[in-house]
Amino acid sequence: MDKLTLLWQSTSLAHFEIGQVVMMAVGCLLLFLAIVKKFEPLLLLPIGFGAILTNIPLAGFSDPGGLLYYIYHVGIETGVFPLLIFMGVGAMTDFSALIANPRMLLLGAAAQFGIFGTLFGAIALNLVPGFEFTLKDASAIAIIGGADGPTAIFLASKLAPELLGAIAVAAYSYMALVPIIQPPIMRLLTTEDERNIKMAQLRVVSKREKIIFPLAVLLMTILFLPSATPLIGMFCLGNLMKESGVVDRLSNTAQNELINIVTIFLGLAVGSKLSADKFLTLETLGILGLGAIAFSIGTAAGILMAKALGKFSSEKINPLIGAAGVSAVPMAARVVNKVGLETNPHNFLLMHAMGPNVAGVLGSAVAAGILLALVG
């Protein structure tokens, strides 16, 4: 009989807590979203699986000495994984649309209103009983509005590690939902005539400009915002490797093998933070709600800025491209293109939207640097 009790005690069945079961269900939901709905599968699949692994009783994946504990410790607590991903993203980014029309940077800047507006909103949520967000928590939540996974994980790991799981899941889920969240806002804020506007073709950008650009961005970040240099520095390194054309092997590795390897571990590590005591809280609901608001505000601010810019500009600007300012490369630009084509099947806005889109990446990295400098 003793032996039977011992055997029973060594099974998970005897040790399951209700929270762990619920979190495993959340992990399965993420797997479902990734596999069936194809929502950001590259991240949601490892995150969902990580959530299942970390909630297995007795296995101790996330206890000191466990696999996920080390992956998290090595990659996220140190900030290394999001930065390596950012290098890969840099190596995949083509700035020519932005260099050809640099004013698009203003659209990328305006969309960051989503971040700072949500920061305000997160603090205002403290007026509701049950919420107690500190300024650090609020900043980490607000960065979801930057619509940039690595930036959100980097900032959350520095400012509010205990909220990281919820923030990362919210950020990636909403990035997958960009085609659903953005179009209604875009249609609401623009008239049919505005959506019809055709933009002048972009000039050809020389190779030398593309090589100098990342260096110029880095120099300005060094001078004015050193707290953003980890993000911008790695991003510029990746971009320079691509544009210089002399280290194709490194550039290819950064945008393929390396980013893929890191993505697996990043997903698992984020999943390991989806434990019941940290995720099944009222705060998670607040974070999910605030994330949606952040995306919406960012989209709206970008469109309104594009409208304002169009009024003062000699060249016509289609206000739809402002929506791409929220980064989420290249999904947001594709959404702009799609909404533009609905109004006029001959109006291709994809290249024009890539400008604000990559500007949004820079903008959210700058915003993250500001939050690190002022709140961190």
Partner 1 sequence: MQPDVMSLLLEAGMLLLVGMSVVFLFLTLLIGAVNVIAWASAKFPEEVPKSVNKARSSSSPTTNQSGVPAPVVAAISAAVEQYRRQH
Where does this chain bind partner 1 (CB under 8 A)? 98-99, 102-103, 105-106, 108-109, 112-113, 115-117, 119-120, 122-124, 126-127, 135, 138-139, 206-209, 212-213, 216-217, 220, 224-225, 359, 362-363, 366-367, 370-371, 374-375
C-alpha angle with apex 332: 328 to 338, nearest 5 degrees? 160
Q: What is the token pair recorded at 219?
A: 């120099």
> From the CB of residue 197, how many other CB atoms can be counted at a distance below 10 Å?
19
Does residue 151 contact residue 231 with C-beta atoms inside 8 Å? yes
Q: How far is the CB of 100 from partner 1 (least distance, A)?
A: 9
Nearer to partner 1, 21 or 124 (CB): 124
Nearer to partner 1, 92 or 135 (CB): 135
Does residue 271 contact residue 62 with C-beta atoms inside 8 Å? no
As a whole number of angstroms, the distance between CA 182 and CA 118 comes to: 17
- Please give the full DSSP string across 52-113, using - where no structure is assigned: HHHT-TTT-TTSTTSHHHHHHIIIIISSHHHHHHHHHHHHH---HHHHHSTTHHHHHHHTTH
Nearer to partner 1, 86 or 113 (CB): 113
As a whole number of angstroms, the distance between CA 168 and CA 268 comes to: 12
**What percentage of the chain's residues is helix, strand, coil (to nearest 5)?**
80, 0, 20
Is the torsion defined by CA of 337, 340, 341, 344 positive or negative?
negative
Nearer to partner 1, 1 or 127 (CB): 127
Q: How far is the CB of 161 from partner 1 (least distance, A)?
A: 20
Q: How far is CA 175 from the centre of its chain?
A: 7
Residue type (1 letter), 24: M
Q: How far is the CB of 374 from partner 1 (least distance, A)?
A: 6
Q: How far is the CB of 1 from partner 1 (least distance, A)?
A: 55
Q: What is the token pair recorded at 106?
A: 């203003």
Q: How far is the CB of 249 from partner 1 (least distance, A)?
A: 24
Q: How far is the CB of 152 from partner 1 (least distance, A)?
A: 16
Nearer to partner 1, 107 or 175 (CB): 107
Does residue 154 contact residue 83 with C-beta atoms inside 8 Å? yes
Q: How far is the CB of 195 from partner 1 (least distance, A)?
A: 25
Nearer to partner 1, 83 or 367 (CB): 367
As a whole number of angstroms, the distance between CA 119 and CA 136 comes to: 10
Nearer to partner 1, 35 or 246 (CB): 246
Q: How far is the CB of 226 from partner 1 (least distance, A)?
A: 12
Nearer to partner 1, 21 or 216 (CB): 216
